[in-house]
Amino acid sequence: MNIVNVDYDGLIPNNVALGRDVRVKRALEKWHPGYINWWNDMGPEGFQESLVYLRTAVSVDPKGWAKFDYVKMPDYRWGILLAPAHEGRKIPFGRHRGEDAWQEVPGEYRAMLRRLVVIQGDTEPASVEQQRFLGKTAPSLYDMRNLFQVNVEEGRHLWAMVYLLQKYFGTDGREEAEALLERRSGDADTPRMLGAFNEKTPDWLSFFMFTFFTDRDGKMQLEALAQSGFDPLSRTCRFMLTEEAHHMFVGETGVTRTIQRTCEAMKEAAVDDPYDVEKVRKLGVIDLPTIQKKANLHFSLTLDLFGNEISTNAANAFHAGLKGRFREERLKDDHSLESGVYPVLRLIDGKIQNEDAPALSALNMRLRDDYVHDCNNGIGRWNKMIAEIGIPFEIRLPHVAFHRHIGEFAGVHTDTNGNLLSDAEWEKKKSYYLPSDGDKDFIESLMQPETEPGKFAGWIAPPKVGIDNKPGDFEYVKIA
Ligand SMILES: [Fe+2]
Ligand SMILES: [Fe+2]
């Protein structure tokens, strides 16, 4: 079978010759009903019978890997798709650099590798759970379709990780695969593994911020895992990144269109002061300071996903050749990091300052720096939109020490510029930096569904082009 094309004959579409791998095929077929139960219970609520215009991967050829069609989400063909193998691939970093990439799990790193796969896997169903009620308040059928596209692909990403667990990790892999269906986002007893994936995604601005900031963390993690010396992990992450690009798109353009509508409404009504929140809100759009607060919230929650700035786990995973750096192949150094330093922002004697740390220990910090850089590129495009319409306002990322729960700054409060605040000052000021109950209520009041083809809720501008080049009034979801 050609690796580029996908075998769609069986229950589980795949390009890993599952038909010839009876043990794994059976294990996945056994796991499948539990997955469908999970999807029906925790997937998009109220739309399981609707026909949604979705893309499905039919190939892993970058030039044409997807086809679009109407499908009921529970009938979506979730499959196992690995990017094509690179003949003779070598481990690109760490102490095994230059050796042949592993096609089987190296025994000495089994536990570490399983943990990396499980943590990545856990985030995928979590975000579906977080977003499950949003269909009911979609600002358009176009947006609703994008939400569901992201949801089914996160479901597929779960399949991607479960395949690795079932194929390469025996009994404990099977147990981990079951557990991935048992944890629930936000549940007090069986929460998802990482904090940001237990937060609520209560409204569409949160959804766009989540896909902009938190899916972008996903992208960074996938980029780092795509470097892995464990070749099956590398190949599965490479294909996941193809899908992830759409999630970034949904987040970035979603916020851009929200900002655009706000700025246009202000211009139309000759409201010049972006800080005159009451006046702006009367126009039925989300004021820019509140959009800034939402960005502050989602950025800070997402930074926690990078873990401790100084981390032995990260050092070990790199040293072992399991998890690399962002775009490792483009970096010009020895790829072993056994010497050398990296500047880490720390809290020293009550002051936030840079301190050089061994480069190997500072890998989380480094990935986080790459992430912040990537975020800033997107925010630049938001600000370009604001400037083009002519409103005096700029969205800015808060300081990395702001509102943190993990790492160096977990124990302190700061303002969005990174100035330390006492507990009392924080309590007094936090509603300037983070959405207040009043802000949340206002946003919620705007979340009225718009289900007529081609129409959009008043707080968001239409997109420039449709999905799959469809016309503006295309019926992306046929609501049942
Ligand atoms: Fe994902
Ligand atoms: Fe994603």
Q: In 3D, which of 255, 105, 122, 292 has the Cα closest to residue 196?
A: 122
Count CB atoms within 10 A of the CB of residue 187: 12
The amino acid at 426: W
* Stretch 326-338: mean pLDDT: 93
The pTM for the full model equals: 0.97
Confidence class of residue 417 from pLDDT cuts 50, 70 and 90? very high
Residue 254, pLDDT score: 98
Q: Identify the nearest ligand to the CA of 244 by its number.
A: 2
Distance 159 CA to ligand 1 centre (A): 10
Distance 125 CA to ligand 2 centre (A): 10
Distance 241 CA to ligand 2 centre (A): 9
pLDDT tens string 24-66: 999 999 999 999 999 999 999 999 999 999 998 887 887 777 8
* Stretch 131-158: mean pLDDT: 98
pLDDT tens string 42-53: 999 999 999 999
Distance 127 CA to ligand 2 centre (A): 8
Which range (10-19, 210-219, 297-306, 382-391) has the least confidence? 10-19
pLDDT for residue 402 is more than 50: yes
Q: Identify the nearest ligand to the CA of 240 by its number.
A: 1
Distance 217 CA to ligand 1 centre (A): 10
Sign of CA dihedral 269, 270, 274, 275: negative
Residue 4, pLDDT score: 62
Confidence class of residue 1 from pLDDT cuts 50, 70 and 90? very low
* Stretch 7-31: mean pLDDT: 92
Distance 279 CA to ligand 1 centre (A): 39
Q: Domains in the chain, please, with CATH?
A: 18-478 (1.10.620.20)
Q: Identify the nearest ligand to the CA of 222 by its number.
A: 1
* Stretch 257-284: mean pLDDT: 98
* Stretch 300-318: mean pLDDT: 96
Distance 384 CA to ligand 2 centre (A): 25
Q: Identify the nearest ligand to the CA of 247 by its number.
A: 2
**Backbone angle region of 270, left / alpha / beta, with phi > 0 → left and psi within -120 to 50 → alpha:** left
Count CB atoms within 10 A of the CB of residue 387: 13
Distance 198 CA to ligand 1 centre (A): 16
**pLDDT cut 90: percent of the chain above it:** 94
Residues 57 and 64: their CA atoms lie apart, in Å, by: 9
3-state secondary structure the chain: CCCCECECCCCCCECCCHHHCHHHHHHHHHHHHHHHHHHHHHCCCCCCCCEEEEEEECECCCCCCEEEEEEEHHHCCCCECCCCCCCCCECCCCCCCCCECECCCCHHHHHHHHHHHHHHHHHHHHHHHHCCCHHHHCCCHHHHHHHHHHHHHHHHHHHHHHHHHHHHCHHHHHHHHHHHHHCCCCCCCCCCCCHHHHCCCCCHHHHHHHHHHHHHHHHHHHHHHCCCCEHHHHHHHHHHHHHHHHHHHHHHHHHHHHHHHHHHHHHHCCCCCCCCHHHHHHCCCCCHHHHHHHHHHHHHHHHHHHCCCCCHHHHHHHHCCCCCCCCHHHCCCCCCCCCCEEEEEEEECCEEEEEEEECCCCHHHHHHHHHHHHHHHHHHHHHHHHHHHCCCCCCCCCCCCCCCCCCCCCCCEECCCCCEECHHHHHHHHHHHCCCHHHHHHHHHHCCCCCCCCCCCCCCCCCCCCHHHCCCCCCCEECC
Distance 241 CA to ligand 1 centre (A): 8
Look over the chain and give the mean of its residue pLDDT values, rounded to a whole number. 96
Distance 153 CA to ligand 1 centre (A): 7
- For 19, 24, 175, 182, the CA distances from 30, given in Å and listed in that order, are 15, 10, 12, 15
Distance 217 CA to ligand 2 centre (A): 9
Distance 411 CA to ligand 2 centre (A): 30
Distance 156 CA to ligand 2 centre (A): 10
Q: Which residue has the tokens 């890993």?
A: 16
Distance 267 CA to ligand 2 centre (A): 34
Residues 367 and 297: their CA atoms lie apart, in Å, by: 20
Distance 273 CA to ligand 2 centre (A): 36
* Stretch 268-286: mean pLDDT: 97
